[in-house]
Amino acid sequence: MANTQTFQRLAPPGRGAMAAKRLFDIVCAACGLVVLSPLFLITALAVGLTSPGGILFCQERIGLGGKPFIIYKFRTMRKENSGLKITASGDDRITPVGRILRKTKLDELPQLFNVLRGDMSFVGPRPEVQEYTDLYTEEQRQVFLVRPGITGVASIRYRNENDLLAASDDPNRTYIQEILPEKLRLDLSYIPRAGVVQDIALIFETLAVVIRG
């Protein structure tokens, strides 16, 4: 994704806006962990009892300031997988319970802990593995100006990303050359507008997308 053209540098969001955004994240994540605790338990049991392996999937991603952190998800794949960083629809590594969790986005619930820890925000650019962030141009690396999010502009637009990858003869190439650059463009467009009001709107849009399926 090399690009030597000049580009407009984005100013980091203001301290006041980021402080309000962080407070919103902490309050909502704490409340979510309490209110959704029964759902956490049910999901954990479903994952643990239907396939061998741990309940959680943990992976290093790159976040705020280009620093690595460990992201948490409910495990949706069999323990013995190929190590591929992307997943297409119909991937035989996905467990039956995992398909349900992915469709309903319940596999993302443990990221509430990431939000509470300060690794992530509810809304922001989706964090990628270093294998992909090493390919970013200087312009694209501006996504590291804000915390990565559970959802965001690109996450909503590419909610059916797995279907696009399934239709490709080379999913990894398609992701790197076609999907990822567009996702980064969308995520960069969010940064100047980052704040509580925009986040609330995107959270409701995400919920609507999940409900519609």
- Domain boundary assignment for the chain: 15-212
Residue 25 to residue 69: CA distance in whole angstroms: 18
- Secondary structure of residue 160 in the 3-state scheme: coil
Residue 31 to residue 37: CA distance in whole angstroms: 10
Phi, psi of 201 (to 5 degrees): -60, -40
pLDDT the model gives residue 187: 97
Both tokens of 138, joined, read 């200087």
Q: What is the DSSP letter of 12?
A: P
> Tens of pLDDT along the chain (213 residues)?
655 567 788 888 899 999 999 999 999 999 999 999 999 999 999 999 998 989 999 999 999 999 999 999 999 998 755 456 667 666 788 999 999 999 899 999 999 999 999 999 999 999 999 999 999 999 999 999 999 999 999 999 998 888 888 888 898 999 999 999 999 999 999 999 999 999 999 999 999 998 887
pLDDT the model gives residue 7: 77
pTM of the complete model: 0.89
For residue 186, what are the contacts with CB-CB under 8 A and spacing of at least 6?
152, 153, 154, 157
pLDDT the model gives residue 3: 53
Q: Give kind and range of the element (H or E) at residue 208.
A: helix 196-212
DSSP secondary structure of 32-46: HHHHTHHHHHHHHHH
